[in-house]
Structure 1
Amino acid sequence: MKSRFDYDMTMDTIMRRWPGSIRVILGHGLLCVGCPIASFHTVMDAAREHSLDEDMLVDDLTKAMK
């Protein structure tokens, strides 16, 4: 089991592994919580789909994961 963030992880995996990331995800306007696509979308996919800065999203998520 991976214990560190990996760009291949899905949004669902991130939220399950690091529940504190949910606040960050919602704060960025993403509705991944409960979304059936969250089990397929990576951070890059979600950022692109919602026109977000991927680097900023990753930075905020990694801070929440600590």
Structure 2
Amino acid sequence: MKPRFDDDMTMDTIMRQWPGTIRVILGHGLICVGCPIASFHTVSDAAREHRLDEDVLVRDLMMAMK
């Protein structure tokens, strides 16, 4: 069974489950790859911390997950 995106997933989990999201994450200026905080931050946390539009980030991540 394929994993489903969940708001509680960490950035690290997202990148591991869907490697195609790494390009999206980097494209939004996030440096989650290799960051020790990625295993704690959710998408909401990352968007807030980096002053990004969470809805746009989630939309782009979801597109990369397909």
Report the TM-score range of the alignment, normalised by the length of the smaller protein. Answer: over 0.9
Instruction: Please list, as runs of the form range in 1=range in 2, the aligned pairs for 1:3-42 lying within 5 A after superposition.
Output: 3-42=3-42
| Alpha-carbon distance in structure 1 between the residues aligned to 2:5 and 2:63 | 11
CA distances 1:10-53 after superposition (whole Å, capped 9, x unpaired): 00000000000000000000000000000000000000000000
**Which residue pairs with 2:63 in the alignment?**
63
Instruction: Please list, as runs of the form range in 1=range in 2, the aligned pairs for 1:48-59 lying within 5 A after superposition.
Output: 48-59=48-59
Q: 1:49 and 1:2, CA in 2 relative to 1: closer, same or farther beyond 3 A?
A: farther
Q: Structure 2 length as normaliser, TM-score?
A: 0.97
Runs of 4+ aligned structure 1 residues displaced above 3 Å come to: none
| Alpha-carbon distance in structure 2 between the residues aligned to 1:9 and 1:32 | 14
Q: Is there any run of 5+ residues in structure 2 with no aligned partner, and where?
A: none
Identity of aligned residues (%): 83
User: One-letter code of the match for 1:35?
Assistant: C
